[in-house]
Amino acid sequence: MIAVIGSGITGLTASWALNQFREVTLYEKHSEIGMAAFGAKQMIGETEVEFDIPFRTIKKDYYPTLFQVYDRVGIQTRVVDYSFRVDSNDESVFGFFSKNILGFHIGIPSSEVFLSQKGRTIFSDLLKFYANAKADWKNENPKITILDFLKRYNYSNEFIYEFLLPTFALVNTCKTETVALYPAETIIGYHSRGYSYTPQETAKFGTRDIVNRMTEGLQHLHLNAKIQQIVKKGSKTIIQFESEEKEFEHVILSTQANQAYQILGKGFELEKEILSEFRYEASDVVLHTDPSYFKNPNVSLVFNIREGYDKPEVTLDLGRIIPELHGKKVFQTWNPHKLPHKDDTLKLAKFERPVMDERTRVAIDRISSLHSDPHCKLWLCGSYSLYGIPLLEAGAKSALQVTSHILNMSVSDIIRN
């Protein structure tokens, strides 16, 4: 028997993949599957709509592993309009429109790009970054941070502080100053996957469909799991519950690193030392109906960069991209600089996301070394455990890598089965 602890995208992928070959038990501490635990059902007019919090979008060139899993499981996706604008201290400085022309999806720069000097500077540096960054990075110390890299190659302050760092603060759900210290390799590697334009997509029937399909056929699923500790007794890996303990051939910890640290006990001191190297930052996401957050009906997403705030405020107009809303104004705001009035607030959720830095890189290499041990029985995986972004892709990919070790099969064979 194999235990998978945690049912975000990592745990769902691991349990789905292993369940095709072995007996698996999936444990989740919440009363709902983790990936859907923070969603919200709301009456919009006379229609009940289930909102995903956070709203998740993926692109084929940035999420290849996740798309392979979705295709295999039968999860359909649809293209969404992710036109966006960047406002810096309430001045529009950059933007892109997403257009479908004869079945081809293309990105078109908005008027702000050409009508202001700042917009033209950002766009020029963006083209330079796409064209040169990957080759330039190969000439640098692999440990160079993205901020040092951008300054060394003379990118403008407008591009650095009013576009690249804030947009990646959203991608990684962290502070702008934290992104500045990310290894350049991670951000340049992220961009190098998608020089050509590919549209943003989302699960056609929402996170509920993802959860249902990925747990279909899973015989052992335990919600509200009361796991106390995971300990090693001799060569045995034991999960201790409130009233019993069970031995498992393998245990896959697919929670956040800081949560995994808390439930590891005697015999796993090395794993805990490694997990302690990972840091997290918290962010708020609020679902609301306050139109003051979104003053431009021509785009779907607005970044607001304001002095005095360490994260960009980003608001998504769900009425433009969720068909069931029929254009009704419902918004989702990440990192709100102020909270909506309580009468406009539908739900407030809090999340933690892993931070990437040199300490993280070393810890990831140490996890890889642990997993290379032929006698490994405790597996650490999740978005934190791979060197790169985006998070959903890293979560699914790390789960499949662990599954590959356990089954002694290639990832491609596991997906094709």
How far apart CA 59 and CA 77 sit, in angstroms, is 10
Q: Radius of gyration over alpha carbons of the chain, in Å?
A: 22
Could you tell me the CA-to-CA distances from 382 to 171, 221, 285, 361 in Å, in that order? 16, 19, 21, 14
- For residue 109, report the phi and psi dihedrals to the nearest 5 degrees: -60, 145
Which band of pLDDT confidence, cut at 50, 70 and 90, is reported for residue 51?
A: very high
Using an 8 Å Cβ cutoff, are 147 and 113 in contact? Answer: no
- For residue 54, report the phi and psi dihedrals to the nearest 5 degrees: -80, 160
Please count the residues of the chain.
417
Task: List helix spans (H) across 52-94.
Answer: 64-73
User: 206, 283, 203, 170: which is closest to 52 by C-alpha?
Assistant: 206
Q: Is 173 exposed, middle or buried (0-12, 13-18, 19+ CB in 10 A)?
A: buried
Using an 8 Å Cβ cutoff, are 122 and 162 in contact? Answer: yes
Catalogue the E-assigned strands of 182-222: 201-203, 220-222
Which band of pLDDT confidence, cut at 50, 70 and 90, is reported for residue 195?
A: very low
- Give 92-128 pLDDT, tens digit per residue: 889 988 777 777 777 788 887 888 899 999 999 999 9
**Structural domains present in the chain:** 2-37+55-76+210-279+357-416 (3.50.50.60), 83-198+281-354 (3.90.660)
- Give 294-333 pLDDT, tens digit per residue: 877 789 999 999 999 999 999 999 999 998 898 899 999 9
- Give 400-417 pLDDT, tens digit per residue: 999 999 999 999 999 988
